[in-house]
Structures are given as C-alpha cells and as structure tokens.
Amino acid sequence: MSTFIASHFFNPAFVLPGVALVSSPIIIHLINRMRFRRVRFAAMEFLLQSQKRNRRRLLIEQLLLLLLRILIILGLTALIARLILDESQLSMFRSARTHHFVLLDDSGSMRDRWGETTAFDEALGVVRRLAAEAAR
C-alpha cells in the first residue's frame, strides 16, 4: 500500500492524514443525528406529521451534503499530496469534449491605459490567442 501511495503522489506524507480527515464529516453527521432527544407533547404532533412528509427529501439532502463534504476533503488531499496520473489513466477523459472557463478581472486596475489599449484589452487578447491555440 505504501509503495502505491509513494508512486502516485509527490507528497505521500499528506495522503494518510487526508484520508483520516474524510471521517470527520461522517463523525459530525452521526453526532448530530444522536444529539436530538424526542419529547412528545400535543402541539408537536402537527409538526411531526409535517416533518414525516419531508423526511425523505431531507435525508437525501443530508446524504448529498455529506458526500459533497467528503469529496471536497478527498479533492483537497489529492491537491495537497499532488496526485500523479500517467497517460494511460487519463485516456478515458481524452475522448470527451473539453470546456475551458476563463475568469477575467474587471476591476479598476484593468482600466489602466497602455498607449491605445487598456490592461483589460490586453488580457482579452491573450485569452483569445490561447483559445485559438487550443482550438487547433
């Protein structure tokens, strides 16, 4: 197991603590489920009937949120430990289309003028050149 981790991560020392951190959302989820104590009284009957109608949706939402938290921690662990993938592992993604998103700063500093053009226009030109190169 340690040779697998060492061969697939640049920083293997971060893998095991990261995997251990994955258990934290699960533990928090279980603690929150045990925390509530049921006290029944007449006014609560109406609320309990309403809650029963929404219970399935709430359970699915909670499980999706738990899964998302686990995936975030696993993703951060892979980023910090610097996951190494070779070409054979990436081949399944080659056939799919690739979408690139560019966030371009539109703050006041991008309005700085350089002769006839602004910093924003220069950045936009760089993005267009990169998009043209990627399209080839």
The answer to whether residues 64 and 125 belong to one domain is no
The answer to whether residues 8 and 54 belong to one domain is yes
Given a cut of 60, whether residue 47 has pLDDT beyond it is: yes
Query: Domain boundary residue among 90, 108, 128?
Result: 90
7, two tokens = 């061969």
DSSP letters of 23-63?
HHHHHHHHHHHHH------HHHHHHHHHHHHHHHHHHHHHH
Number of domains in the chain: 2
Q: 114: part of which helix (H) or strand (E)?
A: strand 113-114
The answer to whether residues 75 and 104 belong to one domain is no
- Provide the percentage of residues in the chain whose pLDDT is more than 70: 74
Is residue 50 within 8 A of residue 119, CB to CB? The reply is: no
Instruction: Calculate mean pLDDT across residues 45-57.
Output: 77
Could you tell me which residues come within 8 angstroms of residue 6 by beta carbon, excluding any fewer than 6 positions away? 12
Range of the domain at 64: 2-90
Q: Which of 15-19, 93-97, 119-123 shows the lowest per-residue confidence on average (mean pLDDT)?
A: 93-97
Given a cut of 90, whether residue 129 has pLDDT beyond it is: yes
| This model's pTM is above 0.85 | no
